[in-house]
Amino acid sequence: MSAPPYEGETYAVVTAFVDELVRSDIAGAVVSPGSRSTPVALALARRDDVRLFVHPDERSAAYFALGLAKATGRPAVVLCTSGTAAANYLPAVAEAQTGRVPLVVLTADRPPELRDVAAAQTIDQVRLFAGHAKWSVDLPPPAPLEAVARQARVVADRAVALAAAAPQGPVHVNVPVREPLVPMPQAAPPGTGGAAWQGRGGAGPYARIARPPVQVSPAAARGAAAELAGPRGLVVLGPEAADGPDRQRTRARAAVALAARLGWPVVADVLSAARGLPGVIGRADALVRDPLVADALVPARVLRLGAPPTSKALGQLLERVPEDGLWLVDDGDAFPDPSLRARTVVHADAAAWLAAVAAALPAPGGAGADAWLRRWQLADAAAGEALAACLADEPYGCEGRVMAELGRVLPAGACLFVGNSMPVRDADAFFAARGRGVRVVGSRGASGIDGITSTALGLAAGSGRPCVLAVGDLSFYHDLNGLIAAGRFGVPLTVVVVNNDGGGIFSFLPQARHGEQFERLWGTPLGLDFAHAARLYGASFARPRDWPGFAAAVRSGLRRRALAIVEVRALDRTENVRRHDAAFAAVAGAVRRAWASDGGSGA
């Protein structure tokens, strides 16, 4: 990089900081308009080697960055001006921390002398995100000191490295900026020619921050293998950390390989990379809802990875694992078990640990393991057939069948982003696109209903793959502002809005029995016609009337390579609950028949 013109200390320091960010491996930068952030924004805009997105709503912008990071596993940068703009980032920052998504959050700030003296657009931004960020640093005010330039570069390197290190998460750099906020070319002071100001030669960072891969010691792996091995075991893969598709696949394959050594089935959440791998159980949620079927599937030992499973029924099954039987593996230092029953939590690189333990085990075999495995596989196959048959009869508007239809319609290599509340649960129960490599992504860190559309748009922008978002109407309303990204950045997305006119999930909860206050407090009928939202944001809009129409609308949306909204008017909420229950009853019957005809393998 040739020396840029010296434009005053603010620009010199900020340009060094941005140079270092861009030399690191970032997924892109999402900038919201503002005054105080001008130097950082301009330094980013001058680079042609970073994807820059200018998003006018900071809340949505941060979620868009979250999606960029989820697509790639690389840190995305967000930048906003001072004041409440920065406060709008907190929801996405909290999701990034709980969901382990790498973000580098930049907030422009007033310099110290303008803090806490009622200057406009000024709030206390020092450690604004408190414990929700992995690291918080307040850059010093710009000054023509070499140490300040060195710090700008080192902080940028550390921020990107730390955001990307397992467990991934958000880091916060608060950037105080003094006026003038625009470049003021002037004579460069002595000593601004070195690496602190101009960066190291070549494309490398100023400071390399390395985290070499580690191996689990063979002795430790042998110990774990010896303790873990045994009959009636289960490997459970929950929702994935956002460290990118490659690492997700590696981890999933390592888990499947270890399970094969143990002779155990693998149960995979819809948000894990193992769903769809050969032999992996994908119907656990439907299977274990029936008490008798569940009784036959209670494992004696469990190895669980990732976040807690989406399926509540599966979670309840895991609560029946004997004391001492539940193992967790966590890439960070968490205890991700709300049941507080785990006996062993392994804090290690999951892929490395799984491979080491597998290597310490003999090749699989043994009749006992086969029977247990066969019980799960028969059940899974029977459940799959029963669900397919059930769903094929479901009338238009059945929420479960929306997921089944998407499983048929999505092309190979597509991404499906599922919103929280009902869509992720319905996807876990009903979505299947075996063998076509459809990547299913969600936001299960804090599992909020906010920011979903923006995250999906970021995922679409970052992955470059055909993307469909399945989202409820309440969640879709919450992030309508996020739709502006599609047109501004030319990001194609097909949004399937499952409209049950409010908080459908509450129909499944005891709140539904409080009819008097139910609609008022939880039903939340919005009464919005999203066709107008589609017009506002230049989207195509379809409200199909039957399943063929739905499939055609989704296909047409994907072909359009722009923003498309497909609204499904869901069945009446009570009817929806009844349909779900009927499907699960059919699964239970089919599983019992399959086991009976196999000589009582479920006994």
Strand partners, 301: 233
Tell me how far, at minimum, the Cβ of 326 lies from a second copy, in Å: 13
Among 1, 25, 112, 120, binds a second copy (CB under 8 A): 120
Window of 12-20, 207-215, 255-263, 524-532 that interacts with a second copy by CB under 8 A: 524-532
Q: Least Å distance between CB 46 and a second copy?
A: 8
Give strand ranges (E) for 32-113. 52-54, 76-80, 103-109
Of the candidates 481, 598, 495, the one whose C-alpha atom is nearest the C-alpha of residue 553 is: 495
Q: Among residues 406 and 564, whose Cβ is nearest to a second copy?
A: 564
> What size, in residues, is the chain?
603
User: Please, how many CA atoms are within 13 Å of residue 186, restricted to the half-sphere of its CB?
Assistant: 13
Chain position carrying tokens 């608060």: 174
To the nearest 10°, the Cα dihedral for 493, 496, 497, 503? -110
The residue type at 329: V
Distance CA 335, CA 355 (A): 22
Smaller CB distance to a second copy: residue 323 or 333?
333
Helix 422-430 and helix 399-409, axial crossing angle in degrees, nearest 10:
60
Q: How far apart are CA 291 and CA 425, in angstroms?
A: 19
Nearer to a second copy, 180 or 191 (CB): 180
User: How many whole angstroms separate alpha carbon 448 and alpha carbon 444?
Assistant: 8
Please report, as residue ranges, which positions from 35 to 54 form the binding site for a second copy (by CB under 8 A).
35, 38, 41-42, 45-46, 54
Site residues (CB under 8 A) for a second copy, limited to 75-114: 83-85, 87-88, 90-95, 97-98, 113-114
Selected binder of a second copy within 3, 389, 509, 582 (CB under 8 A):
509
Task: State the amino acid at position 562 in one-letter form.
Answer: A
- Restricting to residues 150-179, name those near a second copy by CB under 8 A: none
Task: State which residue, 245 or 451, has the beta carbon closest to a second copy.
Answer: 451
Q: Residues 368-374: contacts with CB within 8 Å, 24+ apart?
A: 368/231, 369/231, 369/262, 369/263, 369/264, 370/263, 371/601, 372/231, 372/232, 372/233, 372/263, 372/264, 372/265, 373/263, 373/264, 373/265, 374/598, 374/601
Stretch that binds a second copy, among 363-371, 382-390, 476-484, 584-592 (CB under 8 A): 476-484
Q: Is 506 in the site for a second copy (CB under 8 A)?
A: yes
Q: Which of residues 269-298 bind a second copy (CB under 8 A)?
A: none
Task: Please pick, from the candidates 49, 124, 323, 515, the single residue that binds a second copy as defined by CB under 8 A.
Answer: 124
Regarding 478 and contact with a second copy (CB under 8 A), the answer is: yes
In DSSP terms, which residues pair with 327 in a beta bridge?
Answer: 303, 344
Is residue 243 near a second copy by the rule CB under 8 A? no
| Cα–Cα dist 294/530, whole Å | 41
Closest approach of a second copy to the CB of residue 530, in Å: 8
Question: Smaller CB distance to a second copy: residue 377 or 511?
Answer: 511
Q: Give the binding-site size for a second copy (rule: CB under 8 A).
A: 90
**540 interacts with a second copy by CB under 8 A:** no
Task: In angstroms, give the least distance from the CB of 456 to a second copy.
Answer: 16
Options 346-354, 365-373, 514-522, 562-570: segment touching a second copy (CB under 8 A): 514-522
The verdict on 489 binding a second copy (CB under 8 A) reads no
Contact with a second copy (CB under 8 A) among 351, 484, 568, 583 = 484
Block residue for tokens 């001058």: 46
Nearer to a second copy, 481 or 556 (CB): 481
Residues 342-381 that bind a second copy (CB under 8 A): none
| Binding-site member from 197, 477, 541, 584 for a second copy (CB under 8 A) | 477
CA nearest neighbour of 289 among 585, 51, 599: 585
Question: What minimum distance in Å lies between the beta carbon of 274 and a second copy?
Answer: 19
Subset of residues 414 to 473 that bind a second copy, contact rule: CB under 8 A: 444, 446-448, 450-451
With binding defined as CB under 8 A, does residue 119 bind a second copy?
A: yes
Stretch that binds a second copy, among 7-15, 139-147, 260-268, 525-533 (CB under 8 A): 525-533
Q: What is the DSSP code string of 170-210?
A: EEEEEEE-PSP-S----PPPTT-SSHHHH--SSSS-SS---
User: In the chain, how many H helices and how many E strands?
Assistant: 23, 17
Under the binding rule (CB under 8 A), the answer on residue 513 touching a second copy is yes
